[in-house]
Chains A and B, each alone.
Chain A
Amino acid sequence: MHPANDAGLLSPYRVLDLTDEHGILCSKILADLGADVIQIEPPCGSSARRLGPFYEDEAHPDRSLFWWSYAANKRSITLNLASRDGRALLQRLLPSAHFLIESFPPGHTERLGLGYDALAALNPALIVVSITPFGQDGPYAHYRASDLNGMAMAGFMYVTGDPDRPPARVGVPHFYLHGAAAGATGAMIAHAQRGHTGRGQYVDVSCQEAVARTLASAPQLFAIENTVIRRQGSYRQTGDTTFMRITWPCKDGFVNFQLSGGAGAGRSVNNLIQWMEEEGLGDPVLTGLDWTTLGYGMVTKELLDRVVPPVERFLMSHTKAELFEGAVKRRILLFPVATTRDIMQNTQLQARGYFRQIFHPDLSTTITYPGPFVRASATPLELRRLAPKIGEHNAEIYLGDLGLTREELVRLREAGAI
């Protein structure tokens, strides 16, 4: 046992990441868990660096906030996969690697001679993860998909948005993030099997499938009840004739409150009704019902039409903050529809010390980052290093790890291999 290996959950493992912006979150999850992740960029820098927003709106490859978010905790080397020397360097890195992640269109790595079989021949224990919109083969494998196309094809847009407008995508591009995070999941399952067999394998992720698994009960509703769920704006359709109300306007913005039956949600609705009565805004139909006795997602449109107006009147008489405070006291499932400002001021996140202040020496300023995605009692996750500059660790890896000479490094750079 090496002491250094005990520092983090995944400290002994090295990940080579060939992905662009589409797969970049996969190795970020592994990096946050402590793995040694080397982001391999083309000599001109990763295309993820071109994604905004940018620090002080300066569209510079070292100032992409997307890059800062998803390349932190990683090292960077440059390597030109189109050149023989570049590919040779990658092959020299393979023996030290435990995972390799890529997000090229299907067939691309094979054409470069870097398909799974070729990689496995050099390192049979290597786990290779491919992240693509639709998977490696099949009729749509070569389809192009932006976030918008992907969310549509996965069924998520049809159920999201206002009924009298076109279907809407989630307002932040998430299609590839789902697939990339799934890549980390598949990688670790493959890693568990490697523990038994000593051998690696190939993990083929489909972002379409990843997003199709975020559809809650909608696929089962079609398969079992022949109900096609449609988008309902501030409502949600839960069955052929059943709905729940989700988003509501209030005095200074919007809140999320699930008006629905069920053990948990029903109790919350009962508690809100009691609050309404205390303020003299009760309603006889609301009060006459025990919402816990209605099944989860079993409320009809007729009932909702009758009970929504009094609830709406009550919510409109309060601010987001008043409603949330009251909800916490009364155990009501109500939360503000947060703006980014609300998130940064969220007292729960502050109390848990979620946000991390990190000093950027080159900008001489301290910057607030989202914190770790888990509290691990024995192995706290940390933001150990800032997102790297292009090829920041070339010397460290090429000279230090691979034992190249400075002369060779200069030669490779001049030849465009790194």
Chain B
Amino acid sequence: MRPLAGLKVLDFCWVAVGPMTTSYLAEYGATVVRIESKRRPETLRNAPPFGSQGQSVNRSGYFANYNANKYGMGVNMVHPQAREFVKRLVAWADLVTENFTPATLEDWGLGYEDLCQVKPDIILFSTSMLGRGGPYSQQPGFGAVLASLSGMTGLTGWPDRMPTNPYGAYTDFLVPRFAVPTILAALDYRRRTGRGQHLDMSQLEVALHFMAPLLLDYTLNGRERDRMGNRHPAAAPHGAYPCRGEDRWCTIACQTDTEWEALCQVMGAPSWTQEEGFATLLGRKAHEDELDTLISQWTQGWEAHELMRTLQQTGVPAGVVQTTRDLFDDPQLRHRGHFVFMDHPEVGRHPVQRSEFRLSQAPGEFRHSAPLLGQHTIEVCKEILHMSEDEIAALTEAGVLEE
């Protein structure tokens, strides 16, 4: 039996953080019904890449990565009859998920209290940038902003330059790893006690758990860190060093004497490594610019992956700065089957990233690629809600349902 077999999810999530959360559920056997609308297609449906056929709401490879196995249901939520219709799905569901700006569900008459009237033990999972309540709860935004608000951006990059945002919507991909255990814990709690609840997850409040020691450092020691590039307070060398080819780099991080000595051996034990300035960690930290220059001169002639393999064989922590092209060739990711290739009627062949763990009794399962907008509207009405043809036709005619 699949781990989440029997779990019924009514999914209002959109963009990245929400759909990635429910993608774990869909990968491991839950039935996830996504509510979308043609009137306002969700942001990721219009986000590249689209492939050779060009942009369309059904061709985003970005969207396809987070929505495999889910059912796509088209509902015009601003239609006056939408609320009554959606309540039928609420009655079916164990879990309702959403990541709208707070108050959106309430505006539709589908806030937690409303849901409870339909199903008293429902679990509503809400995640928003800044959580419910408070002066800025309604402030909209994407994950890229939260990296800034949580202090990560300010610490990333070089001390003599502007801060640089960690790539993409960084926190969007961090939050689901707190969201999924929370949701599954709430389901377990409901099984034990019969009680549902509303889970209100502020993405900022989650992200700060990746910053916790630095927050304590400020409140207790009054210290505010600055950007350090790739350096480490207690390790040297610690950086990305240039290799042969255009924009190729290999990282090296020596945190112990043994690792440093092993690196010296691979470098052919040049005499500078024995000098007082480089023999000890404190010496290397004091002469780190010079150290980096000397190591860079040595790494320049190496092919990056060859350098990594050579260093790893002697016990030096090293890793190629891999491009996305490299990731698809990476023998380790291939070994683990990280990228699952699926065929989508409009996107074509595209990779889906499976969850980052392997369960010995439950391989992740990819049954069907991400839904077209409204692809399963009729199927959900028939199979899940057991509606008659006439009823479906009437709601479609009225403009509540979208195919």
- A and B bound? yes
Q: Are B201 and A165 in contact (CB under 8 A)?
A: no
| Interface contacts beyond A148-B253, A338-B151: sample of 6 additional A-B pairs, CB < 8 Å, sorted by A | A152-B320, A161-B164, A167-B240, A217-B61, A224-B51, A228-B324
| CA A233 to CA B162, docked complex, whole Å | 8
B183-222 residues with Cβ-Cβ distance < 8 A to A are 184-189, 191-193, 195-202, 204-206, 208-221
The verdict on B291 contacting chain A, using a C-beta distance below 8 Å, is no
Q: Are B173 and A206 in contact (CB under 8 A)?
A: no
In the assembled complex, which residues on chain B have CB atoms less than 8 Å from the CB atom of A264? 43, 140, 142
Q: Are B188 and A222 in contact (CB under 8 A)?
A: no
The verdict on B270 contacting chain A, using a C-beta distance below 8 Å, is no
Chain B nearest Cβ from A247, distance in angstroms: 6
Chain A nearest Cβ from B58, distance in angstroms: 14
Partner of B148, one of A168, A183, A338: A338
Q: Mark B151-166, 1 if CB is under 8 A from A, else 0.
A: 1111111100111111
Q: Are A162 and B177 in contact (CB under 8 A)?
A: no
Partner of B174, one of A144, A181, A297: A181
The verdict on A197 contacting chain B, using a C-beta distance below 8 Å, is yes
In the assembled complex, which residues on chain A have CB atoms less than 8 Å from the CB atom of B228? 171
| CA A141 to CA B232, docked complex, whole Å | 24
Known: A33-B182, A161-B164, A166-B249. A236 touches B323 (CB 8 A): no
Q: Mark A324-340, 1 if CB is under 8 A from B, else 0.
A: 00011001011111111
The verdict on A238 contacting chain B, using a C-beta distance below 8 Å, is yes
Known: A146-B253, A184-B177, A375-B200. A343 touches B151 (CB 8 A): yes
Q: Are B144 and A236 in contact (CB under 8 A)?
A: yes
Q: Are B216 and A220 in contact (CB under 8 A)?
A: no
Chain A interface mostly: mixed
Chain B nearest Cβ from A16, distance in angstroms: 17
In the assembled complex, which residues on chain A have CB atoms less than 8 Å from the CB atom of B249? 152, 157-158, 166-167
| CA A377 to CA B186, docked complex, whole Å | 10
Tally of chain B residues near chain A (CB < 8 A) = 166
| CA A134 to CA B149, docked complex, whole Å | 30
Stretch at the interface among B79-87, B131-139, B272-280: B131-139
Chain B nearest Cβ from A85, distance in angstroms: 30
Q: Are A186 and B355 in contact (CB under 8 A)?
A: yes
Partner of A370, one of B65, B209, B238, B357: B209
| CA A35 to CA B398, docked complex, whole Å | 49
Interface centre among B133, B156, B172 (most CB of A within 10 A): B156
Stretch at the interface among B69-77, B345-353, B372-380, B382-390: B345-353
Q: Are B182 and A239 in contact (CB under 8 A)?
A: no
In the assembled complex, which residues on chain B have CB atoms less than 8 Å from the CB atom of A66? 213
A302-338 residues with Cβ-Cβ distance < 8 A to B are 327-328, 331, 333-338
| CA A227 to CA B62, docked complex, whole Å | 13
Q: Mark A218-247, 1 if CB is under 8 A from B, else 0.
A: 111111110111110110101100100011
Q: Are A150 and B319 in contact (CB under 8 A)?
A: yes
In the assembled complex, which residues on chain A have CB atoms less than 8 Å from the CB atom of B323? 155, 158, 222, 228
Q: Are B350 and A220 in contact (CB under 8 A)?
A: yes
Chain B interface mostly: mixed
A200-223 residues with Cβ-Cβ distance < 8 A to B are 201-210, 212-223
| CA A268 to CA B1, docked complex, whole Å | 46
In the assembled complex, which residues on chain A have CB atoms less than 8 Å from the CB atom of B167? 156, 159-160, 215-216, 218, 229, 231, 236
> Which chain B residue lies CB-closest to A197?
B1
Instruction: Sort chain A's interface into a size bin.
Output: 35 or more
Q: Are B140 and A256 in contact (CB under 8 A)?
A: no
Known: A262-B46, A343-B208, A344-B218. A191 touches B188 (CB 8 A): yes
Q: Are A295 and B55 in contact (CB under 8 A)?
A: yes
The verdict on A412 contacting chain B, using a C-beta distance below 8 Å, is no
In the assembled complex, which residues on chain A have CB atoms less than 8 Å from the CB atom of B181? 29-30, 33, 184-185, 187-188
In the assembled complex, which residues on chain A have CB atoms less than 8 Å from the CB atom of B3? 189-190, 192-193, 196
In the assembled complex, which residues on chain B have CB atoms less than 8 Å from the CB atom of A129? 357
Q: Are B131 and A247 in contact (CB under 8 A)?
A: no
Q: Are B192 and A138 in contact (CB under 8 A)?
A: no
Partner of A379, one of B189, B211, B331: B189
A-B contact pairs, 26 of them (CB 8 A): A6-B189, A12-B192, A70-B212, A135-B332, A144-B316, A146-B235, A154-B322, A156-B167, A160-B165, A166-B229, A185-B357, A188-B184, A193-B28, A193-B362, A216-B167, A247-B153, A263-B43, A295-B47, A297-B47, A298-B46, A344-B219, A349-B134, A367-B219, A367-B220, A376-B200, A377-B200
B233-255 residues with Cβ-Cβ distance < 8 A to A are 233-235, 238-242, 247, 249-253, 255
Chain A nearest Cβ from B62, distance in angstroms: 4
Partner of B324, one of A55, A144, A155, A349: A155
Q: Are B158 and A162 in contact (CB under 8 A)?
A: yes
The verdict on A398 contacting chain B, using a C-beta distance below 8 Å, is no
| CA A130 to CA B321, docked complex, whole Å | 25
The verdict on A359 contacting chain B, using a C-beta distance below 8 Å, is no
